[in-house]
Amino acid sequence: MRALLTRDLALALRSGGGFGLSLAFFLIVTMFVPFGVGPSSATLSLIAPGILWIGALLACLLSLDRIFQLDYEDGTLDLLVTSPLPMEGVVAMKALAHWLTTGLPLTLAAPLFGFLLNLPSGGYLWIFLSLLVGTPALSFLGAFGAAITVGLKRGGLLLSLLVLPLYIPTLIFGTQTVVLAAKGLDNQTAFMMLAALSLLTFALIPFAAAFAVRVNLR
């Protein structure tokens, strides 16, 4: 499993869909918001948590189709399915590789991008913590969508349409965690719900995605 994770990390960094593209997209979204809503500091402070979470969420979508598609095209996925390795573990490693190359860089960059949106001082720690806890769920849910659409030509749009509704609970609780913290209110319930959603995806998604991969390769 460790060798598979190392391989996927190397492939993600070499391909054009690595962390550089996601970070660039995240930065563009952050920079364009003041042009659309105006330079008012009060307005930017109010919407900053939601914009940062939406930007990170959309940036995660950019490389979801690469989780299984490259291995499907060169035949590696067929070998993995028939190998002694449990397919559930393969899915987990691929989702983890996606998070390490996409979700983690976005999490580290979010507090810095918060300066561009005048994020309230109480929100910097919590935008980092909420993304750190929430973005793994985005990668695992994305792996499920990628498993369903593997083998489909031009399945990127379908993948986005399948995954976006599943992202909504994570987006809601992630944003509320930061909004409440920025206002000086108790955000523990929202944060615990966010953590619970991530733990639920860790427990269920590898099995669901592994089943979808096996069905698509029959």
pLDDT tens series, the chain, 218 aa: 777 778 777 776 776 556 678 889 999 999 998 888 888 888 899 999 999 999 999 999 888 888 887 778 777 787 888 888 888 999 999 999 999 999 999 999 999 999 989 999 999 999 999 999 999 999 999 999 999 988 777 667 788 888 999 999 999 999 999 999 999 999 999 999 999 999 999 999 999 999 998 888 77
* Cβ-Cβ contacts under 8 Å for 187 (sequence gap 6 or more): 126, 176, 177, 178, 179, 180, 181
DSSP 78-113: HHHHHSSS-HHHHHHHHHHHHIIIIIHHHHHHHHHH
- Total residues belonging to the chain: 218
- Rounded Cα–Cα distance for residues 140 and 138 (Å): 6
Q: Identify the residue whose tokens are 């008012």.
A: 40
- What does the pLDDT read at residue 180? 95
This prediction has a pTM of 0.91
Contact 95, 52 (CB under 8 A): no
- What does the pLDDT read at residue 22? 87
**Spatial CA neighbour of 91 closest among 11, 197, 199, 207:** 207
- What does the pLDDT read at residue 71? 79
